[in-house]
């Protein structure tokens, strides 16, 4: 874990340096802008140099603010979540193949059939990472891969993949459906998905139940790789519960967004022995790529 903390420290120092440089820059002159609709240049005045603002909100307030913020789903946003299927030769898809390869290398040293993908707070891209990692894993010849949506509060996997859901994880855990009835296949791929249909009133209790433990054990015996899209670590008990049931976990971090203190706190919550590494989301192409495991 030393490399993880070193990476967080360097990222925080770089973020602080960029803020200082921005604050030191003089006000920019008027520059032309090209509206997409009008098609002709107009003028806009650049924002003044950054001023020292009020102190940041307490960490717990930022967690809940970001968790409760709901962004409208767009076609482009949904396509991005499954880019490895729509654009398999793209740079991002190749980065997920690299991530798959590094996980396979680790799997040669320890059992890694069940892998949880989560983030410290909402909006970091964990669902995008889980979906694309599952898609490229399913591209491996002869490998059975299952993607499990474990978010019984705000599920996104089925919508991102355009799935029709008749039964899901909630019905399965409540004994209202069988595993065969709850699992569906993604058209155009070899990936199978256990989505979420209904939102039960007791999600944390269901995820912490003996049925969930038995389910993960059963899936680990039936599939070569099970990828779980797990709720965020901070503010909810679900991530701790689920990651303890998996062979390993990956924490998704948004470049220039996730605060180091949020990641540090998240790593203190989970069992660090299960942390395979961090996936850096939103980094500039050619710098670090989309994701990596350290």
2-24 helix and 260-269 helix, angle to the nearest 10 degrees:
160
In this prediction the pTM is 0.73
Give Rg (Cα) of the chain.
21
Query: Which residue in 146, 148, 136 sits closest to 228, CA to CA?
Result: 148
Residue 239 backbone phi and psi in degrees, to 5 = -65, -45
pLDDT at 258: 86
The torsion angle over the Cα atoms of residues 258, 263, 269 and 272, rounded to 10 degrees, is 140
Q: Where are the domains of the chain?
A: 74-281
Q: Which of 294, 260, 264, 279 is closest to 12 using CA atoms?
A: 260
What tens digit of pLDDT does each residue of 178-195 get?
A: 999 999 999 888 999 999
Answer CATH for 74-281 from 1.20.1530.20, 2.40.50.140, 3.40.50.300, 3.20.20.140:
3.40.50.300
Tokens standing for residue 110:
């320890």
Q: What are phi and psi of 235, to 5 degrees?
A: 95, -15
pLDDT digit string (tens) for 2-23?
555 565 565 556 555 654 554 4
- Residues of the chain where predicted confidence (pLDDT) is lower than 50: 19, 22-54, 60-61, 63-64, 67-72, 75, 286-294
Cβ atoms 10, 251 nearer than 8 A: no
21 phi, psi to nearest 5 deg: -65, -40
């Amino acid at each position: 874990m030393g490399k993880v903390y070193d990476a967080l420290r360097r990222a925080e120092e770089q973020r602080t340096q960029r803020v200082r440089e921005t604050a030191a820059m003089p006000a920019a002159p008027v520059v032309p802008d090209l509206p997409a609709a009008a098609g002709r240049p107009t003028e806009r005045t650049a924002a003044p140099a950054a001023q020292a603002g009020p102190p940041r909100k307490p960490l717990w307030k930022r967690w809940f603010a970001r968790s409760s913020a709901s962004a409208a789903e767009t076609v482009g946003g949904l396509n991005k979540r499954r880019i490895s299927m729509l654009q398999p030769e793209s740079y991002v898809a190749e980065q997920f193949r690299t991530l798959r390869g590094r996980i396979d290398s680790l799997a040669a040293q320890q059992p890694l059939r069940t892998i949880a993908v989560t983030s410290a707070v909402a909006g970091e891209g964990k669902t995008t990472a889980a979906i694309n990692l599952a898609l490229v894993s399913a591209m491996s010849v002869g490998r059975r891969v299952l993607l499990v949506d474990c978010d019984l509060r705000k599920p996104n996997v089925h919508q991102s993949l355009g799935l029709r859901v008749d039964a899901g994880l909630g019905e399965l855990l409540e004994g209202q459906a069988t595993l065969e009835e709850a699992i569906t296949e993604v058209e155009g791929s070899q990936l199978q998905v256990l989505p979420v249909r209904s939102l039960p009133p007791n999600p944390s209790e269901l995820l912490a139940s003996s049925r969930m433990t038995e389910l993960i054990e059963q899936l680990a015996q039936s599939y070569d790789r099970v990828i779980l899209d797990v709720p965020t670590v901070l503010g909810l008990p679900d991530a701790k519960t689920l990651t303890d049931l998996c062979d390993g976990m990956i924490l998704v971090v948004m470049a220039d967004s996730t605060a180091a203190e949020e990641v540090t706190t998240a790593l203190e919550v989970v069992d660090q022995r299960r942390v395979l590494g961090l996936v850096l989301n939103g980094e500039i192409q050619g710098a670090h790529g989309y994701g990596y495991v350290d």
